[in-house]
Amino acid sequence: MERFRVVGGASLHGEVTVVGAKNSALKLMAAALLASGRTRLTNMPAILDVTIMAELLRRLGCEVDYEADAGVVEIDVPQVIGHRADYDLVRALRASISVLGPLVARCGEADVAVPGGDAIGSRGLDLHAAGLEALGATVHVTHGYLIAEAPNGLHGGEIRLDFPSVGATENVLMAAVLARGTTVLTNAAREPEIVDIAAMLTGMGARIRGAGTSVIEIEGVTELAPTQHAVVADRIAAGTWAFAAATTRGDVEVVGGVADHLGIALDHLSGAGATVTTTDRGFRVSTGGARLRAFDVATLPYPGFPTDLQPFALAYNAVADGSAMITENLFEARFRTVQELARLGAEARVDGHHVMLHGVEQLSGAPVEASDIRAGAALVIAGLVAEGVTTVSGAHHIDRGYAGFAAAMQGLGADVTREPDDAPYL
Ligand code: UD1
């Protein structure tokens, strides 16, 4: 077990590169199952989750080559594939639920272990199930497995999601492309990752209209072909660096970042006094060394403020000028960062799904613990604006979302290193 050691008093300056989005890459790997033959994905992130997804696909009978340094995954899908995703892998990677739609579409049956609760609140699968049922599958849970069956194939259907769930939208999309007839999915999620999957599926021969809007129309085809696809840029990693620059009163160019995918978050930062500009290679956030103003945040489905950036809004407002209220609307219990920030001296109070913060000039270094990917990265950033040394335990959480996080921080001038979790503090 390792932790990050962060020396406080840093201001980040320079450039950092973001690659393909974790939350798209894993789903694109699942989408590859829809066609036999060799699919090639590029701009893939070098993270453990991709390794786990590769293992899951291998167990289904695929050959998978993952060149992490080159950012390339090649998946060779046989004519006949397995249809069971085991608990050990689903447990390690909740996103493996995204094989549900492709498997039921390809095999007429999918048995996917039900993921346990994770560190960011309970997350149901009812919308996934209702979506597949509307396409003619029967869905039930037996012995810890979600079993979806459609022995005679899927048919098109009209589906109105109660909530624009990202995962449910993806599963319905990946099932409907091979269903007989037309599917209309209303109140669909609009995230750039949905647009990315739709683009890949279209490259495979699928007929999809409206991805990126609330209504997606899918005309089923009988067969898809393998393809090549470059993963969309990781907007959450890009947003992490935007907040890191703003929180540390720095100046950072995010190479590969797409400002349009971060509209509301970047608007907040410029409203608070940062200068945000798009560049030839991405975008840049500069503060001129000034302490920025506090701002309120309410998380919402895209294009609202992303829940995955909420921990960064907490770290930012912990040291911003003024008071702020952060409201979490997507996940319950996603405020574990707050108690750790309080250990660093943040003035924060949780009330239900709101957090009230009053910015202090500087935090004070201490040992803290990462509870998930984003909370961990946010705590490292908080450590940069703390006096003295902060250690963030649970480095493996951060590794799941950011390849080479310490090296990237060092490239921006910060003293961030890794050390064994049981090293003496200081
Ligand atoms: C994805 C992202 C995650 C991000 C989230 C919201 C991946 C691997 N993860 O997660 O990082 O935080 O989008 O942007 O892409 N819900 C139900 N029933 C369902 C499905 C969802 O009640 O069948 C609820 C969940 O409990 C949650 C909300 O809907 O409260 C959002 O979930 P969803 O949009 O599905 O997120 P994920 O796809 O799980």
Q: What is the mean pLDDT of residues 330-350?
A: 92
CB of residue 163 inside a 6 A radius of ligand 1? yes
Q: Which atom in ligand 1 lies closest to the alpha carbon of residue 302?
A: 14
- Say yes or no: CB of residue 168 within 6 Å of ligand 1: yes
Residue to mutate (ligand 1; options 27, 165, 235, 331; most atoms within 8 A of CB)? 165
Q: What is the 358 CA–ligand 1 centroid distance (Å)? A: 30
| Band of residue 426 on the pLDDT scale cut at 50, 70, 90 | low
Phi/psi of residue 196, nearest 5 degrees: -65, -45
Above pLDDT 90, what percent of the chain? Answer: 92
Ligand 1 proximity of 254 Cβ (cutoff 6 Å): no
Q: How far is the CA of 329 from the centre of ligand 1 (A)?
A: 11
Q: 166 C-alpha vs ligand 1 centroid, how far in Å? A: 6
- Nearest-CA residue for ligand 1 atom 33 is 165
Q: DSSP string covering 367-419, please? A: EEE--SHHHHHHHHHHHHTEESEEEEE-HHHHHTT-TTHHHHHHHTT--EEEE
User: What residue owns the CA closest to ligand 1's atom 13?
Assistant: 166
pLDDT of residue 332: 79
Q: In testing the pocket of ligand 1, which one of 52, 163, 185, 312 has its CB within 8 Å of the most ligand atoms?
A: 163
Are 279 and 302 a contacting pair, CB within 8 Å?
no
Span 54-72, pLDDT tens digits: 999 999 999 999 999 999 9
Does 92 score more than 80 pLDDT?
Answer: yes
Q: Does position 361 have pLDDT exceeding 80, yes or no? A: yes
Q: Is the CB of 165 under 6 A from ligand 1?
A: yes
Is the full-model pTM beyond 0.85? yes
How far is it, in rounded angstroms, from Cα 25 to Cα 138? 28
Mean pLDDT of all residues in 88-107: 93
Alpha-carbon gap, residue 186 to 192, rounded angstroms: 17
**What is the rounded CA–CA span in Å between residue 253 and residue 328?**
28
Q: Does pLDDT of 117 surpass 70?
A: no
* Residue closest by Cα to atom 32 of ligand 1: 165
**Token digits of residue 349:** 């109070």
Looking at residue 387, what is its pLDDT?
97
Q: Name which residue sits closest to atom 15 of ligand 1, judged by CA.
A: 23
Where does the pLDDT of residue 120 fall: very low under 50, low under 70, confident under 90, or very high at 90 and above? very low
Cβ–ligand 1 distance for 307 under 6 Å, the answer yes
Q: Is the CB of 128 under 6 A from ligand 1?
A: yes
Pocket flag, ligand 1, residue 125 (CB < 6 Å): yes
Q: Catalytic residue numbers?
A: 118
* Residue 337 beta carbon below 6 angstroms from any ligand 1 atom: no
Average pLDDT over residues 84-106: 93
Joined tokens for residue 370? 């990462």
**Pocket flag, ligand 1, residue 188 (CB < 6 Å):** no
**The residue to which tokens 């979600």 are assigned:** 146
Residue whose Cα lies nearest atom 18 of ligand 1: it is 124
What pLDDT does residue 123 have? 65
Rounded to the nearest angstrom, the distance between the alpha carbon of 167 and the centre of ligand 1 is 6
Q: Give distance in angstroms: CA of 177 to centre of ligand 1.
A: 22
Burial letters 344-364, b for 16+ CB under 10 A, else e = bbbebeeeebebebebeeebe
Pick the residue whose CA is nearest to atom 11 on ligand 1.
308
* Range with the poorest average pLDDT among 196-210, 257-271, 326-340: 326-340
The residues facing 209 across adjacent strands are 217
